[in-house]
Amino acid sequence: MVAYAFLAGGGVEPLSGFAWPLPEDGERGAWIDAESAPSEALRGYPARDLPYWFDDELWMIELSGTVAERDHLLFGERARLLGRIDSWTDPLAWEFVIACARRVARRAAAALREDGRADAAARLEAPRDLGELVEAAGSAADDPSAAGILVGYVFDVCFYAREAGVGARAAGVAAKMSAYALAGDLDDVPGYAERLAAERAWQADWLVERLGLKAALLD
């Protein structure tokens, strides 16, 4: 089974520190199994679960033997690296962060207009980078209304993503915070699970499109 895996720089599995045998000269990497690698390394995920896992490098991997799915992960008995997805870069990670933040901003702007605050809504829709979004959100997040809470989420997504520093970590922060914000942030609200799944699906579609994975998914 072909899947994907985010790894730390140099093909290192982030949880265990295991260094994968990398493909060389256009060949596929060597197989690893439970005798040669920690169990954490024998995992990947389908494209639909990319937004749950971010790191410096994205690789296409092959899982062999019995493959089990658990917690947005696929576990195999053997695995090997097929090739690195070079389209996953730090600039693209930041593009994803901005896309997530602007998605929350659009929802917040709509709520502001419903409250009769068209000027504040326009300011929130205009920014194109995180710095401008933080400033616009900071000036509008001044009340406990539903619109004000959404604006506060815009601020939080931008602020904490910037604090993460590195694009891959910022992407993880933005993906999680924006999905929960748009789902309603309360798991006991009717329809919460469906809205959360819809946001994660939107994030996955964005990544698949921008990473150019559609052709690979069809192979």
Looking at every residue in the chain, the average pLDDT score rounds to 90
84, 104, 135 - which closes a domain: 84
What pLDDT is recorded for position 215? 46
Question: What mean pLDDT do residues 107-124 have?
Answer: 90
Question: What mean pLDDT do residues 167-193 have?
Answer: 87
Question: Does any domain span residue 216?
Answer: no
84, 110, 144 - which closes a domain: 84
Whole-structure pTM value = 0.91
Question: What mean pLDDT do residues 18-35 have?
Answer: 91
Same domain, 67 and 103: no
Question: What mean pLDDT do residues 205-215 have?
Answer: 88
Same domain, 166 and 59: no
Same domain, 66 and 129: no
How far, CA to CA in Å, does 103 sit from each of 9, 42, 154, 196? Answer: 30, 34, 9, 14
Same domain, 94 and 199: yes
SS3 of the chain: CEEEEEEECCCECCCCCCECCCCCCCCCCCCEECCCCCHHHCEEECHHHHHHCCCCEEEEEEEECCCEEECCEEECCEEEEEEECCCCCHHHHHHHHHHHHHHHHHHHHHHHHHCCCHHHHHHHHCCCCHHHHHHHHHHHCCCCCHHHHHHHHHHHHHHHHHHHCCHHHHHHHHHHHHHHHHHCCCCCCCCHHHHHHHHHHHHHHHHHHHHCCHHHHHC
For residue range 131-167, what is the model confidence (pLDDT) as tens digits?
889 888 887 766 778 888 899 999 999 999 999 999 9
What pLDDT is recorded for position 39? 84
In this prediction, residue 185 has a pLDDT band, given cuts at 50, 70 and 90, of: low
How far, CA to CA in Å, does 159 sit from each of 68, 98, 137? Answer: 37, 11, 10
Same domain, 73 and 150: no
pLDDT above 60 (res 217): no
Same domain, 71 and 111: no
pLDDT above 60 (res 25): yes
Range of the domain at 36: 2-84
Q: Bigger pLDDT: 123 or 174?
A: 174
Same domain, 73 and 97: no
23, 56, 84 - which closes a domain: 84
pLDDT above 50 (res 82): yes
pLDDT above 90 (res 120): no
Kindly report which listed range (11-20, 128-137, 169-178) carries the lowest average pLDDT score.
128-137
Question: What mean pLDDT do residues 208-215 have?
Answer: 84
Same domain, 44 and 145: no
